[in-house]
Each structure stands twice: as structure tokens, then as C-alpha cells.
């Protein structure tokens, strides 16, 4: 199959679905962490990757960053920046999970607050899948305006063909 035969609207639609799914995930994760910051701080501490002074700061800032990122992804504003930041966060999460799994730590993920299940290789698969969705969204999603523009172009083409 040649690439030029690939239906043009498919990639943006898939990217839109990815972006909205990522936005919902970040919104839920951020709100869960905002509700219980001390549990999230303990989850960060258990990874044993950061100096003690950075743990509380990260436990307070990261959930709000996730909520802001979710707003950008869901609203479709600053799509490229939001998708890039999403990809960088999932890359960071994946690296932290990999290091902890290799070290054999039996700790809570902290992904959706402090009381989530123990880390395992499926968590790493999930995070790398979300990383792939972020990268796909980065390259193929252009926000809500691209759909509105495409619809207006289709209407204009239909008017020209009728007239």
C-alpha cells in the first residue's frame, strides 16, 4: 500500500482520539495527586531517585502541571507543546519505572496518587504506549481548528461543484 493512498482524515482523527485520551488520563491523575499530596510524595520518595529536598516540590508541582497539560490537550490549544510535554513526562515516567524495576523495588507506582498498585512490567508497557500516543499526537494533531478548516474547505468545494 502506498502512503499517498492512505486516507487523509484517518491520522488526524486517531491523533485527536489519542490527545483526548491523554488529556483525560492527565486530568484524572493530576486531580488524584492534588487530593492527597503526602501519599504522592511518599510514592516519589520510594523510587529513591531524587534528593529529599526535591520530593515535596515535585509532589506539589507535578499534579498541577498534569492538570494544566490536560486542559491544553482537551481544549486543543497549544497542541504541539502539550503533546511534546506529555511525551517528555511519559519518557521520564518510563525511565523511572525501568530503573526501579531493574533494581527490584516493590513500590507503589504513584501514577494515580500514592495508593496505586505495585509497579510491574505492564506499567512500563502502559507508559511507553502513552508515550507513543503523545508522539503520534505531536506529529499528526493540529487541534480543533484543523477539523473546522477541513469542514469549511469541503463545504466550499461542494458549493463550487454544484455551481
CB proximity list for 67: less than 8 A, separation 6 or greater: 26, 27, 30, 31, 34
Residue 154 has pLDDT above 60, yes or no: no
pLDDT of residue 157: 59
pLDDT digits (tens, 9 = 90+) for 98-116: 999 999 999 988 888 766 6
pLDDT number for residue 1: 44
Q: Which among 41, 91, 96, 88 is positioned nearest to 69, based on CA atoms?
A: 88
pLDDT in tens, 55-95: 999 999 999 999 999 999 999 888 899 999 999 999 999 99
Amino acid at each position: 500500500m502506498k502512503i499517498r493512498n492512505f486516507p487523509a482524515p484517518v491520522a488526524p482523527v486517531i491523533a485527536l482520539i489519542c490527545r483526548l485520551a491523554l488529556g483525560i488520563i492527565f486530568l484524572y491523575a493530576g486531580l488524584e495527586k492534588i487530593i492527597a499530596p503526602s501519599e504522592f510524595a511518599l510514592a516519589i520518595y520510594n523510587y529513591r531517585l531524587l534528593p529529599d529536598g526535591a520530593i515535596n516540590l515535585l509532589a506539589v508541582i507535578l499534579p498541577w502541571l498534569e492538570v494544566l497539560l490536560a486542559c491544553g490537550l482537551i481544549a486543543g490549544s497549544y497542541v504541539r507543546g502539550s503533546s511534546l510535554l506529555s511525551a517528555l513526562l511519559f519518557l521520564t515516567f518510563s525511565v523511572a519505572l525501568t530503573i526501579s524495576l531493574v533494581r527490584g523495588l516493590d513500590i507503589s507506582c504513584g501514577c494515580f496518587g500514592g495508593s496505586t498498585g505495585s509497579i510491574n512490567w505492564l506499567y512500563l508497557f502502559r507508559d511507553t504506549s502513552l508515550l507513543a500516543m503523545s508522539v503520534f499526537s505531536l506529529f499528526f494533531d493540529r487541534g480543533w481548528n484543523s477539523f473546522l478548516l477541513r469542514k469549511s474547505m469541503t463545504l466550499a468545494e461542494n458549493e463550487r461543484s454544484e455551481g
